[in-house]
């Protein structure tokens, strides 16, 4: 079984996050950021520019005139969409989809990112992009565990899918730590903003009392988003039965009674966004 030391070694061996990816995450985390700032980062990175143009010219958008300039792509796609494309680009190569387990994880990550954005929009619109990134990356620890043959993570996932025992519990029983711990180590390695590190670290288990207010807020949004994705059955064999949305929300100041409505809004958004997200992540 992998120990904490083995995990530290695996994490250290992961490639560092590129400067572009770090800048993208930084800029999209700033609620006051505008399209111009992001455009500068895109223009500076040849591969990202090419990627953005490829998305803009894809059959999904099928522009009447081919898009050959980044500036025009930003106008055509809109700032919100460009932000997403850049966030996907920043996380590319991390969330791979070669097999069934990885595909299910990818689906779950997408579902959680949309859910996190929707929950944030209802509660704290300023941090919607931050929440989106948190949702996309929250289970990155699972990707790392999947890559360690001695961990035999597949068998653990099978138990999870067949018996519906919470995965983090199974992991703690077997390894002495869970994927949230691994994910936090990865986020530290990538020098992600502290608020993201904390949210990823605490998306299962107790929310520690010593988090700052913005760390607590993002963590709670992420936890609810994760529950939404599970309740929708995204990336699972069967939806997770949920009877008490108020208890699930666990947010003081969060409209507990409104949670069921926000869940419906999420489901609607998920159906709308799903195809667009595949294009953004291509
Ligand atoms: Fe998780
Ligand atoms: Fe999750």
The DSSP-derived string for 147-182 is: T-GGG-HHHHHHHHHHH---HHHHHHHHHSS-HHHH
pLDDT for res 158: 86
Who's near 77: CB < 8 A, 6+ residues apart?
A: 52, 55, 56, 61, 85
pLDDT for res 135: 96
Q: Which ligand is nearest the CA of 109, by number? A: 2
**Which of 252, 237, 232 has the alpha carbon at shortest distance from 114?**
232
What are the residue ranges in the chain where pLDDT is below 70? Answer: 93-97, 243-244, 246-256
pLDDT for res 253: 63
Residues 174/1, Cβ–Cβ less than 8 Å:
yes
Backbone region of residue 33 per phi and psi (left: phi > 0; alpha: psi in -120 to 50; beta: other values): beta
Compute CA distances 264 → 118, 231, 269, whole Å. Answer: 10, 11, 9
Residues 99/154, Cβ–Cβ less than 8 Å:
no
Distance CA 280, CA 36 (A): 20
Scan for tokens 């489901």, then name that residue.
267
pLDDT for res 282: 75
User: What is the phi/psi pair of residue 148, to 5°?
Assistant: -110, 105
Who's near 260: CB < 8 A, 6+ residues apart?
A: 245
What's the CA-to-centroid distance between 112 and ligand 2, angstroms? 7
Q: Which residues surround ligand 1, an ion (CB under 5 A)?
A: 139
Q: Which residues surround ligand 2, an ion (CB under 5 A)?
A: 139, 226
- Considering only CA atoms, give the Rg of the chain: 19
pLDDT for res 248: 64
Annotated domain spans of the chain: 4-16+95-280
| Of the options 3.20.10.10, 3.30.70.890, 1.10.3210.10, 2.60.40.420, the CATH number for the domain spanning 4-16+95-280 | 1.10.3210.10
Q: Which ligand is nearest the CA of 229, by number? A: 2
What's the CA-to-centroid distance between 274 and ligand 2, angstroms? 17
pLDDT for res 10: 87
pLDDT for res 246: 62
């Amino acid at each position: 079984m992998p120990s904490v030391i083995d995990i530290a070694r695996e994490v250290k061996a992961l490639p560092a996050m590129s400067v572009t990816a770090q800048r993208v995450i930084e800029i999209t985390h700033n609620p006051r950021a505008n399209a111009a700032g992001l455009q500068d980062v895109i223009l500076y990175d040849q591969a990202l520019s090419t990627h953005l143009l490829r998305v803009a010219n894809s059959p999904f958008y099928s522009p009447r005139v081919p898009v050959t300039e980044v500036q025009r792509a930003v106008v055509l796609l809109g700032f919100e969409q460009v932000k997403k494309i850049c966030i996907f680009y920043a996380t590319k190569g991390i969330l791979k989809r070669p097999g069934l387990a990885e595909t299910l994880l990818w689906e779950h990550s997408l579902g959680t990112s949309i859910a996190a954005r929707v929950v944030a929009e209802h509660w704290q619109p300023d941090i919607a992009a931050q929440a989106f990134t948190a949702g996309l990356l929250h289970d990155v620890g699972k990707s790392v565990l999947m890559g360690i043959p001695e961990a035999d993570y597949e068998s653990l996932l099978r138990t999870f899918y067949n018996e519906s025992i919470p995965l983090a519990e199974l992991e703690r029983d077997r390894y002495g730590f869970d994927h949230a711990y691994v994910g936090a180590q990865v986020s530290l390695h990538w020098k992600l903003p502290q608020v993201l590190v904390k949210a990823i670290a605490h998306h299962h288990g107790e929310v520690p009392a010593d988090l700052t207010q913005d760390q607590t807020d993002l963590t709670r949004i992420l936890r609810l988003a994760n529950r939404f994705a599970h309740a929708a059955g995204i990336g699972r064999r069967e939806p997770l039965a949920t009877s008490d949305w108020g208890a699930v929300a666990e947010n003081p100041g969060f409209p507990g009674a409104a949670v069921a409505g926000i869940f419906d809004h999420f489901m609607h958004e998920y159906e709308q966004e799903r195809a667009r997200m595949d294009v953004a992540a291509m």
